[in-house]
With several copies, the nearest count.
Chain A
Amino acid sequence: MDEKLGRIRRQQAAAPGIMMAKKKISDKPSSTGEDRESVVIRFAGDSGDGMQLTGRQFSNTSAIAGNDISTLPDFPAEIRAPAGSIPGVSAYQIHFSSVDILTPGDEPEVLVAMNPAALKSNLHDLKPDGRVIVNTDAFTGANLKKANYEASPLDDGTLASFQVIAIPIATLNAKALEGIDLPRKEADRSKNLWALGLLYWLYDRPLEPTLRWLERKFAGNDILIEANRTALLAGYAYAEASEIFTTHFRVREALIAPGRYRKITGNEALVLGCVAAGILAKTQVIYASYPITPASEILHGLSTYRRLGVRTVQAEDEIAAMGMVVGAAFGGGLAVTGTSGPGLALKAEAINLAVMAELPCVIINVQRAGPSTGMPTKTEQGDLLQAVFGRNGESPVAVLAQSTPSDGFDVVLEAFRTAVRHMVPVIILSDGYLGNGAEPWKIPDIESLEPIDMFHPEGGGKPFHPYERAADTLARPWAIPGTAGLEHRIGGLEKEDVTGDVSYDPANHQRMTDLRREKLKKIADFYPPVEVDGDGEGDLLVLSWGSTFGAVRTAVGKCRGEGRSVSHVHLRHVHPFPNDLGEIIGRFGRVLIPELNGGQLLFLIRSAYLVGAEGLNKVEGRPFMVAEVASRIREMT
C-alpha cells in the first residue's frame, strides 16, 4: 500500500482500527505478486446475495486505488424471481486497469458464482481457462434443479476447461462470525463480503475503502459493522492462508490526468448535469417524470437536490410529465423530463406541442430493449428513429447522444444550452448500459463551466411579437408570463410568422415549416468540428453513436495498432448531423456503422449522404464486445 500513498491521497484518513486489522492480516508474508495491465472479473449470485453491492465496492475500491475502471451491472428482470432461479441471478462485471479503458471488458477472467443459477447463466462469458470461484454450499440438489442442472456441474466435467476454486463460502463465513451475536440467517447475508475479501486479496486491493463504507452504512448498528467487517477480513485471510491461490495480482494505478475524481454512473452524471445547469443558468430546474426502468434513478437523484434549486414532480404518467415540462418551459424554468422508450412514445404529442410553441426543454431517454415492454432491464439503441421521426407532421427536434457514463454531465449541459439558444426541444439518448454503468470521472474545474445564458425580454413600449426571430439562431424570444407588457398567447395551432397569431394561410404554413427546419439546421453551426480518431482519410471509417463509444473506440485502436487503415468518428450530434460529416465520410473507402439496433444511424447516414455504409448490428440486450467490433473491422480492412 505505502508506495501508492504518494500518488493517491485519500479524502479521509483511514480509521486506526482498520489499519490495525490490515496489519494483523499482513503479518504473514504475502505470496508473490504478479503485475497485470487490466483485469476483468464478474460477481454473480442470487438477487438476494448482494452482488450489486459487492461489485460496487470492488469498483469503488479500484477507482480509489487509482485504476481506471468500467463496470457492467446486470440485474434481473423487473420481478424478483424466486431465490435460486435463473431469472433471479444478479451479476456485476468490473474492468479495472492501469491504462485507459473504455469498456467493462469482453470476457471476465474470474467468475464468482454464489449459486448454481449464477454459474449456469454466466459461465459462457468466462474466458477460456478462466477461474470459477464457486460457493459449494449453495450447490444443493434443490438449487441445482432450479438452475436446470441435471447433475452437479462441479462433478460432471462441465467445468473441465476452467480453473475451479470450490469453497464452502457460507460455512466458512458462518464459522468466522461465530463469536458475533447474530442469527445464522442474518450472519449468512454477509457472505458476499467474505467473497469480496477473497477477491481483494487476489487482486491486492486495499481494504480501507470498504471498511470505511461499512462504518457509514451501518452507523449505529455495531453488530452489523462487526459482522461485515469480520466477513471481509475472513475472506481476505482465507485467501492468504489457504494457499488456494499461488499468486496474487497487482494492477497498478492508471496514468490518468491529475485532479479530483469520483465514480459516476450514467444516470448520476445526468443528475449532476441537470443540477449544474440550473446553477449555471441561475434559475430553477423542473424535472417532471414518471418512473420507468432504467431511468428512474434520475428522478431519485434529482429529488435530493431541492436545496440547489431543483423541483421534481412525480407525474401521473409520461404524458403528464411532458405536459408539465412544456408548462414549466413556458414559465421560464429549465424544464426536463426523463423516461425510457415506451415513455418517449407517450410523450410524442406533447413534445410536438413544444416544437410548435418553440419552447426550450430537454427530454432524456434512457433506452432499453424493445419493442413494447421488451426487456426492460436490458440495453439497446432502438429509439434513434423514434426520437428523430416519432411525431406527427414535420416536427424537427434536436437529438444528442450520451457516449459514456460521465459524459451525461456534459451532454445535459449542451442540451440545455441548445434548447435555450434555439428555443427547441432537445432529446438526449442514453441507454441502460450507460445509465447503470460506472466509470471514474474527473470532476470538472468549476471555473471552466460557462454560465447558461437565459435571455427573457422585458416589456417595452413597442408591440411584442412572440414569433420574431433572432438572425443567427432563428430563435423566437422567450418572454415569460408575469412580464408586464409582453402578454401573448401561444398554442399548438399553426402560427403566423412574426405575430404568432393563429394562421391557416397556405403560404404562411410553408414558411413556418421551412423556418422550423432551418432553425434546426442552424444548431449545427454551433457544433465544434467533428473529431476523427485516427487518420483523416483511409480505407475504413467506423461511425458510431451513443453507448457503443467504448467498445468501438477500443476496437478501432486495436486494429489500427495492427497496422490497419481505420479511423473512428463518434457522433454526439445525431440530429441534425454536423456540417462537416459528409465531407469526412467522403474521405474513406468504406463506412462501418456498429449499432445495438437493426441499423438506425445507418439508415440516416445512407439517406443523408447516399453512401453505401454497412451495419454491424446486434440486438441482444447487451453491449458490443470489443472483439465483435474488431473482428468485423478486420474483415473489412
Chain B
Amino acid sequence: MIDRSKNRATPTRKDFQSNQEVRWCPACGDYSILSQVQKIVPTLGIEKEKFVFVSGIGCSSRFPYYMNTYGFHTIHGRAPTIATGLKVANPDLSVWVITGDGDALSIGGNHLIHALRRNMDIKILLFNNRIYGLTKGQYSPTSEQGKKTKSTPAGSPDYPVHPVSLALAAEATFVARAIDTDTKHLAGVIERAARHRGSAFIEIFQNCNIFNDGAFDEFKARDVRDERVVRLEQGKPVRFGKEGGRGIRLRNCTLEAVSSGPGEEPPDCIVHDEKSRSFIAYMLARMEYPEFPVAIGVFRDLEKPTYGELLDEQGDFRIAGDTAEALRSLLHTGETWVVGNE
C-alpha cells in the first residue's frame, strides 16, 4: 500500500517536529510518547507527507499539532471514523489515531470496536491515564471503581473497562500495551504496530501528573518494575523478576505466578504466542498487580486481509479512463427507450 519508491533523503526525527509550541503540562507522560513516535516514524521508509495523525479531543488529542506532517484534530470520540474515511479515500496513506481513555472508550467506544473489527489499516494509540485530563479531572472508563474525582466525590460506582480485553474481543489483529516511561520498549511496540498490516491497537499507560499522578507507579516505578512488570516476547516463556526467576503458568484454567529456585528456570511457564487464537492473551492482559505482574508487549499479532484489501478484491477501484464511456455505461444501462429519433 505504502509507496516507498521515491528517492528522497530519509527524513529525520527533527523533520517530524512541528513549529507548534507543545502545550502539555510539564512532565506529562504525553511528551515521552510524542518523542518515541517522532523517533520511530522516520525509520519506516514512508515519506513524511504520507503520514496523517488523526485525533479526537482530550489532552492527548493535541498530538497531531506537534507532528510536522498531516494532522486532523477532530471531535470527541470520532477519530476512528475520520481515520477510516481517510484511509478508504486514500489507501496510500499511513493513518494513525491518537486518543485518550475517555475519547476512545467512553464516547468513542463503539467506533473503536468497529474500526478494529474491520481490520482497517490504521494504528491506534490509546493514551490511558485513567482520568479525563482536558476537562480537569473526572473519572474515566478505566478509572478504578471507588475512585474519588470531581464528578464522583463519594467514589465512582462504575467497574472499569479493560482496554486490551475490549480490543481483543473486538477481533483486533494487533493488540499491545506499553508504558510511557519505558521508552525503549514503547518505541519497539510502536514500530511493530506501524509495520503491522491491518488495525493495530496499543494501550499506553500514561501518567497525568496533574489529575491522576502516579496512577501506575505501583508497578512501573524504576525500582520495582522488574518484579512487577512482565514483558511478553514472542515464542519465549513468560518470565519476569530478577534474572527471570519468576514466571506465569496455567493451572486448572487459571494463571498462576511461580518462582524458581536460585539460578533455575521457573517451571512450566506459558510460552507466549502472539499468533494464537486462543484466549490466553486475555488472561495475560488481565493480570493485575499485586496478584500478578502487569504484562506489557504484544498480546496478539495476526495476519488477516485488511478492509482495504478485501474491498480491492471486489473490483477495480480506479476510474475507467474515458469519461464519456463511463458515463454512457452508467446512464444507458438497464431498461431505456427512445422517443423520436435519437
Contact = CB atoms under 8 A, between A and B. Distances in A.
Interface of A: 7-11, 60, 63-64, 66, 78-83, 85, 87-88, 209, 253, 256-263, 272, 275-276, 278-280, 282-284, 286, 288, 290-293, 296, 299-300, 303-309, 311-333, 335, 342, 349-350, 353, 357, 372-373, 442-444, 446-447, 449, 451, 459, 480-493, 501-502
Nearest to B324: A446
B182 to A, nearest CB: 24
B82 A327 contact: yes
Contact of A487 (B68, B93, B132, B138): B68
A263 B335 contact: yes
Contacts of A315: 81, 114
Contacts of B317: 284, 306, 309, 311
Interface of B: 18, 20-26, 47-50, 52, 54, 57, 59, 62, 64-65, 67-78, 80-90, 92-93, 106-107, 109-111, 114, 132, 134-136, 138-139, 141, 150-154, 156, 158, 210, 311, 314-320, 323-324, 326-332, 334-342
Contact of B135 (A63, A293, A316, A322): A293
**Top 8 closest pairs, chain A to chain B, by CB:** A258-B340, A323-B81, A327-B85, A491-B73, A324-B85, A333-B89, A331-B89, A489-B71
A299 to B, nearest CB: 5
A88 B167 CA distance: 37
Contacts of A66: 339
A81 B72 contact: no
A314 B88 contact: no
B74 A326 contact: yes
Given A260-B342, A261-B339, A308 B319 contact: yes
A261 B336 contact: yes
B319 A284 contact: yes
Given A259-B338, A483-B49, A492-B73, A324 B151 contact: no
Contacts of A480: 90
Contacts of A335: 85, 89
Contacts of B67: 489
B315 A307 contact: yes
Nearest to B53: A489
Contact of A481 (B65, B73, B90, B311): B90
A292 B152 contact: no
Nearest to B82: A327
A372 B81 contact: no
Given A303-B153, A313-B88, A481 B93 contact: yes
Chain B CB within 10 Å, residue with most, of A308, A317, A449:
A317
Given A487-B68, A489-B64, A332 B336 contact: no
B337 A64 contact: yes
Nearest to B79: A323
Given A293-B135, A349-B75, A489 B18 contact: yes
9 contacts: A79-B134, A258-B340, A306-B314, A323-B84, A323-B111, A373-B75, A481-B52, A481-B93, A491-B64
Given A284-B317, A316-B114, A492-B74, A324 B340 contact: no
Contacts of A320: 78, 81, 84, 110-111, 114
A199 B150 CA distance: 32
B138 A324 contact: no
Contact of B331 (A253, A276, A328): A276
B192 to A, nearest CB: 24
A610 to B, nearest CB: 37
B21 A82 contact: yes
A60 B335 contact: yes
A328 B120 CA distance: 14
Contacts of A290: 106-107
Contacts of B158: 314
Nearest to A76: B23
The listed residue with most A CB atoms (<10 A of its CB), out of B72, B89, B334, B336, is B89
A480 B316 CA distance: 22
Contact of B88 (A79, A260, A272, A324): A324
Contacts of B72: 327, 330, 357, 489-491
A80 B88 contact: no
Contacts of A307: 315-316, 320
Given A272-B331, A489-B18, 20 more contacts: A78-B135, A80-B210, A82-B22, A259-B338, A259-B340, A262-B337, A282-B323, A296-B136, A303-B151, A311-B88, A314-B152, A315-B114, A316-B106, A320-B84, A323-B85, A332-B90, A443-B332, A481-B70, A482-B92, A489-B65
B78 A319 contact: yes
Nearest to A80: B25
Nearest to A502: B65
B7 to A, nearest CB: 13
Given A78-B134, A291-B132, A349-B75, A258 B81 contact: no
B91 to A, nearest CB: 9
B339 A327 contact: no
Contact of A299 (B71, B138, B154): B138
A291 B100 CA distance: 14
Contacts of A324: 81-82, 84-85, 88
Contacts of A64: 335, 337
B323 to A, nearest CB: 6
Nearest to B8: A484
Nearest to B59: A79
B138 A308 contact: no
B23 A79 contact: yes
Contacts of B82: 323-324, 326-327, 330
A9 B153 CA distance: 32
Nearest to A60: B335
